[in-house]
Amino acid sequence: MIKAICVAVLAALFLFGAISSVQAQDITLTSRDSKVELSGTLLGFDGEFYRVQTEYGELTVDGSGVLCTGPGCPNIEDFVAELQISGAPTLGAVVMPALLEAFAQKNDYVTEREEGEDSTSFTYLLSRASDGKLAARFFFRVTNTDEGFADLLADEADIVMSLREIRAEERSRAREAGLGDMTGINRSRVLALDAIVPVVSGTNPVQGISPVDLAQVLAGRITNWKALGGPDVPIDLHLPDDSSGLGQAIVDQLLRPANLGKLSDKATRHATSDSLSQAVSADTFALGLTSYAERGDTQALMLTGRCGFSMQASRRTIKTEDYPLTAPMFLYFPARRLPRLAREFLAFTRGPAAQIVIRRSGFVDQTPEEIAVEQQGNRFANAIAQAGTEITLGELQRMTATLVPMARLSTSFRFEAGSVRLDAQSRSNVQQLARALEVGQYDARRLLFVGFSDGNGPSEANRDIALRRADAVRRAVNEAAVAANLERVELGVDAFGEAMPMACDDSSWGRRANRRVEVWVR
């Protein structure tokens, strides 16, 4: 009989656990035909599933198929979903509350905000407009990215708001804690896009800086504006706090690729982006690094290169990742089941209404845009101007004939350094494009995955590598679009290698910008 009970319960086992919303107490779950009975300690209930510690181990049981008795049984009809959200203030103070308000309005909930005991915490209460009953509590702890991951590892957070990718040591500790692979499918999501931008006062005469020189300034090796084409005066460097996700992203994206050890200890650190932008805008000889969305009254410098290319941070160049210092804003989730209302909110954050909220909050949304060739600036002219001896006129003509009749999607794909694995933002882009295919957004159209490379090495080999990467992206999207009818859309691949560079190949930033897979549509 015990074996039969175990088998029956295991059949109801779900992959993910439920978020704990009640204290552990004894319960008994009985099947509706009274043939199966299971007793144990209630670990959690998400409104649909019980998570129970039993003599057979920790089991998750569908609540629709059982009756619950005992002191720990929750009130199913008046269940209140709870969600702990912790991490970066850029997301927690602006974006997430705005999204929660929009979600509540769309789904007939009334919101109420309760401030916490200190300035870093607050709670959103969602009540049903129909009867006024409380439906959910969203607890926010707004500190920094490091604290968000620490809360997750301590089982004090269900969602981490992060301005950087998870560190290797955090990923390892999460796996050891039973939270799953935090870089796996559905363990993270890019909520919105931002970028790291070098900023100066509007009275500063310098208009641009190369990533190489910028890294040298950050490391304290360039200390005078004269080295950047400006006046002979010292550079007053301003940076975000080193515990912030943005501060850590600056190290990841600028210092490490240049093999520079640490940031200058002479930089002025700022706890908030507002204080940084105010300090820079008031000082003609200041140079700061901040986010595109929070640059305030400062002037953003263009990123330049020795070959003559330059790139200005803008909504479009950030969305396409043509700007090399794009900074995705992540949500990370452990491998456990969240309450249904929380899952509905997260699903809402991917939709078109949420993208409008993100855009109005000052950040870059992820709604795919079709960019006609005439709206893409000098890309084709640059391709001709930068073509080396290995890029033939015939190849340029083939590229022009293939792409000019099409439009480029703003969704791009890039790979981790020295790897065939897509980077975190691109993995999120795969899911986004797959969902668009599933809802028929591109039915009766042709999507062409086009690979490009940097100029290192023989052009023919570069084209072959770019073609393999384009096909890898196509296959990843194909596999992710499990509910799509792919007979209604044509998915093709092509590659032009180094024929259309986006940046100079004389730096790791430029080479990374050039190694990409674009999506073109007709």
- Among 23, 48, 69, which residue terminates a domain? 69
From 153, 187, 221, give the residue that closes a domain. Answer: 187
Q: Which of 125, 103, 89 is closest to 350 using CA atoms?
A: 103
Among 187, 208, 238, the domain boundary falls at 187
Q: Judge if 220 and 277 occupy the same domain.
A: yes
182 and 204: one domain? no
Do 233 and 211 fall into the same domain? yes
As a whole number of Å, the end-to-end CA separation of the chain is: 62
Please check whether residues 212 and 228 belong to one and the same domain: yes
Structural domain total, the chain? 4
In sequence order, what E strands does 46-108 have?
49-54, 57-62, 66-69, 81-87
Q: Are strands 490-497 and 446-452 parallel, antiparallel or unpaired?
A: parallel
Question: How far from chain centre, in Å, is Cα 12?
Answer: 33
Whichever domain contains 32, its CATH number is 2.30.30
CATH of residue 171's domain is 3.40.190
Residue 288 within any structural domain of the chain: yes
Strands (E), 293-352: 299-300, 302-304, 310-311, 326-332, 336-337
Residue at 175 is within a domain? yes
Question: Is 442 within a domain?
Answer: yes
* Rounded-to-integer distance, Cα 79 and Cα 74, Å: 7
The answer to whether residues 204 and 105 belong to one domain is no
- Tokens describing residue 190: 């890019």
Determine, yes or no, domain membership for 338: no
CATH number, domain of 392, equals: 3.30.1330.60
22 and 38 in a single domain? The answer is: yes
Question: Residues 376, 512: one domain?
Answer: yes
CATH number of the domain to which 220 belongs: 3.40.190.10
Sequence-distant (6+) residues with CB within 8 A of 213 are 222, 227, 228
Enclosing domain of residue 127: 81-187
Helix-helix angle 352-360:96-106, to 10 degrees: 140
Asked whether residue 239 falls in the same domain as residue 279, the answer is yes
Same domain, 402 and 516: yes
Helix (H) or strand (E) holding 276: helix 273-281
Residue 329 falls inside a structural domain = no
Walk along the chain (522 residues) and give the pLDDT tens digit of each residue.
Answer: 333 434 333 333 333 333 333 345 789 999 988 889 999 998 878 888 888 889 888 888 988 889 999 988 887 777 899 999 999 998 998 899 999 999 999 999 999 999 998 889 999 999 999 999 999 999 999 999 999 999 999 989 999 999 988 988 999 999 888 888 888 877 888 999 999 999 999 999 999 999 999 999 999 999 999 999 999 999 999 999 988 889 999 998 899 888 887 899 899 999 889 999 999 999 999 999 999 999 999 999 999 988 778 889 999 999 998 898 999 999 998 887 888 899 999 999 988 999 999 999 989 998 889 999 888 877 887 777 777 777 888 888 999 999 999 999 999 999 876 667 888 889 889 988 999 999 999 999 999 999 999 888 888 898 999 999 999 999 999 999 999 898 999 999 999 988 888 888 877 888 888 899 999 999
Classify residue 390: in a domain, yes or no.
yes
* Residue 233 resides in a domain: yes
Output the CA–CA distances (angstroms, integers) from residue 317 to 194, 321, 323, 364, 425, in the order listed.
11, 6, 5, 10, 15
Find out whether 277 and 296 touch, Cβ atoms under 8 Å: yes
* 451, part of any domain: yes
Indicate whether 262 and 142 sit together in one domain: no
Question: At residue 74, what are phi and psi to the nearest 5 degrees?
Answer: -80, 165
Are 122 and 183 in the same domain? yes
Q: Is residue 88 located within the same domain as residue 202?
A: no
User: HSE of 157 in the Cβ direction (CA atoms, 13 Å)?
Assistant: 27
Neighbours of 191 (CB within 10 A): 24
